[in-house]
């Protein structure tokens, strides 16, 4: 990789909205996702409210964001594939802890949050072609004197439960003997609040989520995002690994979105423009790793090589 980092997984926390989706608690079997979608005339999208600009609620009840827009395009491809023009879309509340069981048990058909593709998680679920690549860094108070991981010696670090940032931090802690103390919060907003209230010295998470939280804080100059990247996080839409036909449909549509250039329009909309509800702008240029990945779209990530 050149930066000495690995592909890992991280994501953000739950959505406050749950639209009624009926009885969907059965365990999925081979090919059942598309069969269920065809039979019920409904597709269920896992969505969140703490993952700006990927998947969040902007005040009108319906989740919006970069990956929600991508899922909308995937739904249209599925709608055509199953020949159900009237296919309805509903949304399921998920958290980092429940998103996997929701897919495995057939409660949601696509998870539209910032899910990173890793070998460990591919044992349970499948991923389509990555739509974003993040790196794991940390958010701190700008005046805290913390610029890199070595500055955390003996300090308290918070991360969000259900992500692998904790493991990355403790591996760095072990190799550098930093004596870092680690705590976990239920979602990204709670993690951010611990730093905001100085109950924790740093919040370790994927950089794009940290940029979003800082931008939304109303006081972005108060916080700094620092630290060498601990990991590289290839985000992708998640779905059942038991449905090869569904994977063919969504991979084909993701490749079309990327190669047609539609992905660049979506990126500009959510990362380089004011976004709802408050018109904040992340001003986050597309990274070189992501730009390179778009040249040759593939669901293969670093731990496949």
What pLDDT digit, counting tens, does each position of 136-160 carry?
899 999 999 999 999 999 999 999 8
Percent of the chain with pLDDT over 70: 89
What pLDDT digit, counting tens, does each position of 188-219 carry?
899 999 999 999 999 999 889 898 899 889 88
pLDDT at 7 over 50: no
What pLDDT digit, counting tens, does each position of 80-120 carry?
999 999 999 999 989 888 999 999 999 999 999 999 899 99
Report which DSSP code applies to 51.
Answer: B
Q: Which of 40, 121, 126, 56 is nearest to 94 (CA)?
A: 56
pLDDT, position 304: 62
Report helix, strand or coil for 7. strand
Which is more confidently placed, 167 or 239? 239
Which is more confidently placed, 305 or 196? 196
Of the listed ranges 5-9, 60-64, 90-94, 211-215, the least confidently predicted one is 5-9
Assess contact for 206 and 135: CB atoms under 8 A: yes
Positive or negative: CA dihedral 263, 265, 270, 271: positive
Give me the domains of the chain, ranges plus CATH numbers: 6-132+232-304 (3.40.190.10), 136-231 (3.40.190.10)
| Distance between CA atoms of residues 78 and 110, nearest Å | 11
């Amino acid at each position: 990789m050149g930066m000495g980092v690995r592909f890992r997984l991280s994501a953000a926390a739950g959505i406050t909205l749950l639209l009624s989706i009926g009885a969907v608690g059965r365990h999925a079997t081979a090919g059942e996702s598309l069969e269920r979608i065809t039979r019920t005339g409904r597709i269920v999208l896992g969505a969140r409210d703490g993952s700006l600009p990927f998947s969040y609620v902007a005040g009108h009840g319906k989740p919006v964001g970069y990956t929600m827009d991508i899922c909308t395009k995937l739904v249209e491809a599925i709608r055509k594939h199953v020949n159900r023009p009237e296919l309805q879309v509903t949304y399921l509340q998920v958290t980092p802890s429940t998103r996997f069981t929701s897919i495995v048990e057939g409660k949601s058909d696509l998870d539209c949050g910032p899910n990173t593709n890793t070998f460990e998680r591919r044992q349970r679920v499948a991923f389509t072609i990555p739509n974003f690549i993040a790196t794991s860094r940390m958010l701190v108070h700008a005046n805290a004197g913390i610029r890199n991981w070595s500055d955390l010696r003996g300090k308290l670090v918070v991360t969000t439960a259900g992500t692998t940032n904790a493991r990355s931090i403790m591996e760095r802690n072990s190799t550098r003997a930093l004596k870092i103390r680690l705590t976990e919060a239920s979602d990204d907003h709670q993690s951010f609040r611990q730093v905001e209230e100085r109950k924790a010295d740093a919040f370790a998470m994927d950089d794009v989520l940290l940029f979003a939280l800082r931008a939304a804080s109303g006081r972005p100059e108060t916080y700094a995002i620092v630290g060498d990247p601990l990991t590289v996080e290839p985000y992708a839409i998640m779905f059942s690994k038991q449905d090869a036909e569904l994977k063919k449909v969504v991979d084909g549509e993701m490749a079309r979105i990327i190669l047609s250039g539609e992905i660049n329009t979506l990126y500009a909309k959510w990362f380089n423009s004011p976004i709802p509800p408050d018109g904040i702008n992340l001003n986050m240029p597309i990274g070189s790793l992501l730009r390179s990945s778009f040249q040759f779209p593939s669901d293969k990530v670093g731990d496949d090589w």
